[in-house]
Chain A
Amino acid sequence: MSQLSVSRIENNPKYRELVRARDTLAWTLTVLVLIIYFGFILLVAFAPGFLTQPISATSVVPVGIPVGVGVILASVILTGIYVRRANNTFDPLIREIIQEASK
């Protein structure tokens, strides 16, 4: 790739828009996954009693099981959200940026 095209991309406002939007989304979702997962881990570490209490008086199922399965489902959902945003917003933007750079 030529130095010229690189600087042309860098100076394209669409490129700066792409980097800003994608980095914001990626790091927001990363922090969200970290909060969800380490929230679960901190409960395991400091409040195991919360996770091991039964979900109702007549049940043997501890609260931790739906919470754990919930963490797995949340991971899958956040992954889906990122892919959807990237397919709909970032891909067209990247295509335009590359087209404009190779003109």
Chain B
Amino acid sequence: MTSANAVLKTVFPAGAVLAAQLAFVTLAAAQASPPNTTPPVNWHAVVMFIIFVAITLIITYWAARRTKTATDFYAAGRGITGFQNGLAIAGDYMSAASFLGIASLVYFNGFYGLIYSVGWLVGWPVILFLIAERLRNLGKFTYADVASFRLRQGPVRTMAAIGSIVVVIWYLIGQAVGAGQLLHTLVPQISYNVSIVIIGALIIIYVTFGGMKATTWVQIIKAALLLGGATLIALGVLVHSGFSFEKLFSEAVAAHPKHQEIMQSVAPLGAKPNAIESISLGMTLMFGTAGLPHILMRFFTVPDAKAARKSVLYGTCFIGYFYILTFIIGFGAIVLVAGRPEYVVDVTKNVLNLKGGTSMAAVYLSHAIGGDLFLGFISAVAFATILAVVSGLTLAGASALSHDIYANVIMKGKSTEAQEVWVSKLCVIGLGILAVILGILFEKQNVAYIVALTFSVAACANFPILVLAVFWRGLTTRGAVLGGYTGIFGSIILLIIGPTVWTKVLNMGPAIFPYDFPTFVVLPAVLIVAWIASVTDRSAQADKERAAFEAQMVRSETGFGAEAAAAH
């Protein structure tokens, strides 16, 4: 690792230069721009961005010196405690999309936003009861380790890695586009493209040098900042309404142009409620959470199954608390942001339509409550949020490519740890650059389907195959592979011919498949395909796979033979 340390010493000044340039660019742009055309630089936000970046780079430096083996790189040496992992899980999961997105969903639609808050939380108990401990006992670095535990490595890992990569890349696009828009809106002197490049560069530095240790600590700090920031905003709202929810909700009903309707609609305002769509959305959010590769990967960072279990309890508490806060924040924004000329494009036309895009409701609310300083703080928190989520995603994508595809499929387990980590780092750089390019390409695209796509693939491919592999002795390689591909391609095809992509993105007219969320069709199809393909499999290999179930179950239930924590 001496060569890596040498590289590190040369790159760290580069990180400092980057931060300095960020400050310089904003300063230069501020001086160069003619008066009254560009808003003043949000110095509070810029200074806090730089402080956050500086702290995380110091942590990365610290983590890099302690990252020597593959276990350090992918799983932080399995030395993260249950409480720390609970915070990191919250930091990995509470994306800017859920912070800004749910707040603005509530801001525009009222009560309807709560359905998302609930759906995004209820996957966690399922992860605890069925997945967390068994995943930790059976796996090494990726969920594909568990899916392929007693099955044929090549085909099952390839399928599982494709499922992971599809989720990771589309999730990355969504995060990159959101990040570019957010940073550009908050500090207009930095262009959209420069914003994305800054984020891409930071991610590559965190993950290639600091691996899972740096990623974990970035997520822990971000989670603490986000929970603190959201608590302060919600407190501000409650102070305004004298801690009376009745008063808060009545003021919101009075301020919102749709008045009482915001309490009476279970669909987006203006849309017709559809029973099947609601059920399918519910399934997608719940089971999708339990199939996200960057979330599942977090369970390999703790020393044992007990810590994995504890971390879900802490994570669930933090995430549940946070989603209740976002709901209060959304209603607070209706009261304190809607109709205020400093936040709204044109008060005479539409009192809800916000400057800088629909996701700004929570950010403007922080300004309404605490002025420029608090706005700067919340902006920096939103930025930290994106960096933490994107780091986790990039590491999960790189581990699927290097640990599953390179080390176990191509090299058939014959590569050394050092080679595997080296390939991982190349994949991190590749994914970082890809995220920047896709973020720039997708700037003006409608990316509304991304949540549906990533959560559908996770809910229909990753989740059911994982549960079947762990609990059903009858699952064979043929069943896992055919079932998994049914989930991946079934979701993608039905999304393409569904209303969001077919009608709104491709402009092809009425959708062939009339629902936005295909899970209610695809998930049962996956279970049926996996079952039929497994029970009809009479090969000798299939018999061996069924016979290997007992030994797998002993390890899965007791942790006997599970990967131990690193000794150092």
**A residues apposed to B, CB below 8 Å:** 1, 3, 5-6, 9-10, 15, 18-19, 22, 25-27, 29-30, 33, 36-38, 40-42, 44-46, 48, 51-52, 54, 59-62, 64-65, 68-69, 71-73, 75-76, 78-80, 82-83, 86-87, 91, 94, 97-98, 101
Residue on A nearest B276 in the bound complex, by CB: A45
Bound together, the chains give a CA A15 to CA B557 distance in angstroms of 9
In the complex, the answer to whether A87 meets B260 with C-beta atoms within 8 Å is no
Measured between beta carbons, the chain B residues less than 8 angstroms from A71 are 118, 122
Q: How far is the CA of A75 from the CA of B264 in the complex (A)?
A: 25
Other-chain contact of B126, A9, A30, A51, A69 (Cβ < 8 Å): A30
Cα separation A18 to B129 with both chains bound (whole Å): 14
Interface residue B249 (Cβ < 8 Å from any Cβ of A): yes
> For chain B, which range describes its interface: under 10, 10 to 19, 20 to 34, or 35 or more residues?
35 or more
Stretch at the interface among B310-318, B391-399, B430-438: B310-318
Among listed B31-39, B109-117, B220-228, B494-502, interface-contacting one: B109-117
A94 close to B558 (CB less than 8 A): yes
| Interface members, chain B 345-379 (any A CB < 8 Å) | none
Asked whether A42 lies within 8 Å of B310 as measured between CB atoms, the reply is no
Residues of B within 8 A of A1 (CB): 555, 560-561
B276 contact set on A, CB distance < 8 A: 45
The residues of B with any CB-CB pair to A shorter than 8 Å are 111, 114-115, 117-119, 121-122, 124-126, 128-130, 133, 245-246, 249-250, 253, 260, 263-266, 273, 275-276, 278-279, 282, 286, 306, 309-310, 312-313, 316-317, 320, 323-324, 550-551, 553-555, 557-561
By beta carbon, the residue of chain A nearest B82 is A83
Write the chain A residue with the least CB distance to B133.
A86
* Contact between chains at B279 and A42 (CB < 8 Å): yes
* A76, B560: Cβ atoms closer than 8 Å: no
Interface centre among B128, B275, B276, by most chain A C-beta atoms within 10 angstroms, is B128
B320 and A68 contact, CB distance less than 8 A? no
Main secondary structure of the interface of B (DSSP, over half): helix
- In Å, the complex CA distance between A69 and B117 comes to 9
Asked whether A79 and B316 contact (CB < 8 A) given A44-B115, A45-B275, A64-B114, the answer is yes
Q: Which B residues lie within 8 Å of A79 (CB)? A: 124-125, 128, 312-313, 316
What number of residue pairs across chains A and B have CB atoms under 8 A from each other?
148
Q: Indicate which residue in A9, A61, A65 contacts B554 across the interface (CB closer than 8 Å).
A: A9
Question: Nearest chain-A residue to B562 (Cβ)?
Answer: A1
Which are the 6 A-B pairs with shortest beta-carbon distances?
A: A1-B561, A45-B275, A41-B282, A52-B264, A48-B266, A45-B278
- Tell me the minimal C-beta distance from A13 to chain B in angstroms: 14
Complex contacts, A82 vs chain B, CB 8 Å: 125, 128-129, 309
Which residue, of B122, B286, B310, B316, has the highest number of chain A Cβ atoms within 10 A?
Answer: B122
Q: Contact partner of B560 among A25, A36, A52, A98, CB < 8 A?
A: A98
In the bound assembly, the distance between CA atoms of A34 and B323 in angstroms comes to 19
A38 to B266, CA, bound (A): 15
Q: Tell me whether B282 and A18 are in contact (CB under 8 A).
A: no
Contact B122 A37, beta carbon cutoff 8 Å = yes
Contact for B278 among A26, A41, A94, CB less than 8 A: A41
Asked whether, in the complex, the Cβ of B316 is within 8 Å of the Cβ of A76, the reply is yes
Least CB distance, B112 to chain A, in whole angstroms: 9
Q: B residues within 8 A CB of A64?
A: 111, 114, 266
How distant is the Cα of A80 from the Cα of B312 in the complex, in angstroms?
Answer: 10
A26 B129 Cβ-Cβ under 8 A: yes
CA distance A42 to B279 in the complex (A): 7
What residues of A have a CB within 8 angstroms of the CB of B118 in the complex? 37, 40, 68, 71-72
A and B contact pairs by CB, cutoff 8 A, 22 listed: A1-B555, A1-B561, A6-B550, A15-B554, A18-B557, A19-B557, A22-B557, A27-B129, A30-B126, A33-B126, A42-B279, A45-B275, A48-B266, A60-B246, A60-B250, A60-B260, A60-B263, A62-B111, A65-B111, A71-B122, A75-B316, A79-B124
Q: Which of A18, A22, A60, A94 has the most CB of B within 10 A?
A: A60
Q: Is the Cβ of A60 less than 8 Å from the Cβ of B266?
A: no
| Nearest residue, chain B, Cβ from A95 | B558
- Complex alpha-carbon distance, A83 and B128, angstroms: 9
Q: How close is A46's CB to chain B, nearest CB, in angstroms? A: 6
Judging by beta carbons under 8 Å apart, are A87 and B306 in contact?
A: yes
Closest residue of chain A to B264 (Cβ to Cβ) is: A52
In the bound complex, residues from chain B placing their C-beta under 8 Å from that of A3 are 551
Residues of B within 8 A of A25 (CB): 129
Cβ A75 vs Cβ B560 within 8 A: no
Instruction: Report the minimal beta-carbon distance from A45 to chain B, rounded to whole angstroms.
Output: 4
Name the A residues within 8 Å of B253 (CB-CB): 60
Most chain-A CB neighbours within 10 Å: which of B125, B266, B555, B559? B125
B554 and A6 contacting across the interface, CB-CB below 8 Å = yes
A-B contact sample (9 more), CB < 8 A, given A38-B282, A86-B133 = A18-B557, A30-B130, A33-B126, A37-B122, A45-B276, A64-B266, A68-B114, A72-B323, A101-B560
Q: Give complex CA distance A84, B117 in Å.
A: 26
B122 to A, closest residue via Cβ:
A37
The one of A45, A46, A62, A97 that contacts B263, using a Cβ cutoff of 8 Å:
A62
A96 to B535, CA, bound (A): 36
Chain A residues within an 8 Å CB radius of B554: 6, 9-10, 15
Kindly list chain A residues whose C-beta atoms are within 8 Å of the C-beta of B551.
Answer: 3, 6
Task: Determine whether the beta carbon of A30 is less than 8 Å from that of B111.
Answer: no
| Contact B320 A72, beta carbon cutoff 8 Å | yes
Interface centre among A3, A41, A51, A69 (most CB of B within 10 A): A41
B278 contact set on A, CB distance < 8 A: 41, 44-45
